[in-house]
Structure 1
Amino acid sequence: MGNKEKLLEGALACLLDKGYARTTARDVASAAGVSLAAIGYHFGTTDALLNAALDQALEAWGAALEEALRGAADGPDDDPAARFEAVWARIIASVEAQPALWKLQFEVVAQLAVLPELHERWQHSLAAAQEGLAALFGGSPGTGAFYQALLTGVVVQHLVAPGRGVDGAQLAAAVLEVAAHLRGGEDAAERV
């Protein structure tokens, strides 16, 4: 493994351990087992290295989640509620499997105003995520935005209270209840 790859690996380890704001060039160089000068040679700046490591980690996580979700979405079950529950169960499992990566994402979101180099990329990523969620669950781009909002809330619940956040079945029941209320009040909710 070359120094560039060692730096990316070390940067990711530091990001997951210390977070974006607290990771220093020295931390990364030490974790990678290379000199500080290697950061400048391969990436120009520490921020560029951290951003590259973050991008690489999010791409790998996204690909793994997409594969897991494709299995749930393409399953033999024709019941939309069962499919919905299965997809959310896999999303929740991914949150529980990689909480440090999710915490890092929330830290970066909180700092986007002072990280303009990331802000534009994350706007594009948000739009792509919404499109992907709309395609996964079926619906318009607005539906994708709804699922993105729901995803954010579910992630927060599982990060704040691991093992006690909402599950797929609870989400399905809640969505049906909300839809019933929107269609006609409590009488409609009782029919669901």
Structure 2
Amino acid sequence: MGRRPQPHLKDRLLDACADHALAHGLPDRLEPLATATGASARMLIYHFGTRDALLRAVLGRARQRQLDTWGDLLRARPDEPYTTTLERAWASITSEDGRPYLRMFGQLRESAEQRLWPDFRRTATTDWLGPLEDGLRGMGRPELATLVLAVIRGLLMDLDATGDTARADRAFQEFLATLGHPAGGDRPRAHRPRGTSPGGTAGAGAATGP
């Protein structure tokens, strides 16, 4: 008589695998994930079927976390200019908390990883258009969602290539000013020392949208 399915155990294993992959990158073997979960590779295969099925599930779990977190960052807030919301979102996306997502999903641009999620590049772009359109609608400019997304992605690529955080932040602030950011006034600041490198943020900029 075979084992009965254990969905709660499977869910805990998947969370632990996602935690490890976000911290260390998506592995090409099962052993690092087995070590991280305290389970055997055989147990992981029992629950997920194949190595690639497990890796796809890990990517899906991490992506859902990203969508939940960054979707909330991009959500319009009453009595707050949406440009202020966008600046706070940029600071969080490029902060130490945001970098693991940029690193992980940046891997999906590489040919060795595309097989795990062949349509990722398209969905990773369109996922963010809705939240941006909703937020920009409050400014009467929902049609600017594609432009805002393109600027964010382009600056993430610049940041990844140069590590020049201060310059990328200034560029984003100047862009926001063209959208109607009031001159002067208090602006939220990224929670990291100025001039520090994002350390491999995102080949991700092109792959993950924000």
Quick check: TM above 0.5?
A: yes
List per-residue Cα deviations over 1:33-82 (Å, max 9, x = no partner): 10111222111122221221222122122212222332xx22314xxxx5
- The letter for the 1-side match of 2:49 is G
Contact 2:77 2:85 survives alignment (8 Å): no
Q: Which residue of 2 aligns with 1:179?
A: none
- The letter for the 2-side match of 1:161 is G
Matched, 1:171 2:175: yes
CA distance in 1, matches of 2:21, 2:164: 21
- The letter for the 2-side match of 1:166 is D
CA distance in 1, matches of 2:116, 2:9: 24
Deviation at 1:145, TM superposition (A): 2.5
Matched, 1:18 2:24: yes
Distance 1:17 1:86, change over 3 A: closer
**What count of residue pairs does the alignment treat as equivalent?**
167
Deviation at 1:32, TM superposition (A): 0.5
Matched, 1:45 2:50: yes
CA distance in 1, matches of 2:165, 2:120: 32
CA distance in 2, matches of 1:114, 1:28: 17
CA distance in 2, matches of 1:90, 1:114: 28
Name which one, 1 or 2, has greater alpha-carbon Rg: 1
- The letter for the 1-side match of 2:173 is A
Q: Which residue of 2 aligns with 1:148?
A: 149
List per-residue Cα deviations over 1:102-160 (Å, max 9, x = no partner): 1111122x22575234122542342232233222223456x333222212123334555
Higher relative contact order (CA 8 A, sep 6+): 2
**Counterparts of residues 1-192 of structure 1 (less than 5 Å):** 2-20=8-26, 22-70=27-75, 73-77=76-80, 82-96=81-95, 97-108=97-108, 110-111=109-110, 115-138=114-137, 139=141, 143-159=144-160, 160-161=162-163, 163-164=165-166, 165-167=168-170, 168-173=172-177
Structure 1 runs not aligned, ≥5 long: 177-192
- The letter for the 1-side match of 2:16 is G
Q: Which moves more between the two structures, 59-68 or 30-39? A: 59-68
Structure 2 runs not aligned, ≥5 long: 1-6, 181-210
Distance 1:114 1:50, change over 3 A: closer
CA distance in 1, matches of 2:111, 2:146: 19
Distance 1:95 1:55, change over 3 A: farther
Structure having the larger proportion of residues in helix: 1
Q: Which residue of 2 aligns with 1:184?
A: none
Equivalent pairs: percent with the same residue? 17
CA distance in 1, matches of 2:23, 2:82: 35
CA distance in 1, matches of 2:106, 2:113: 14
- The letter for the 2-side match of 1:28 is L
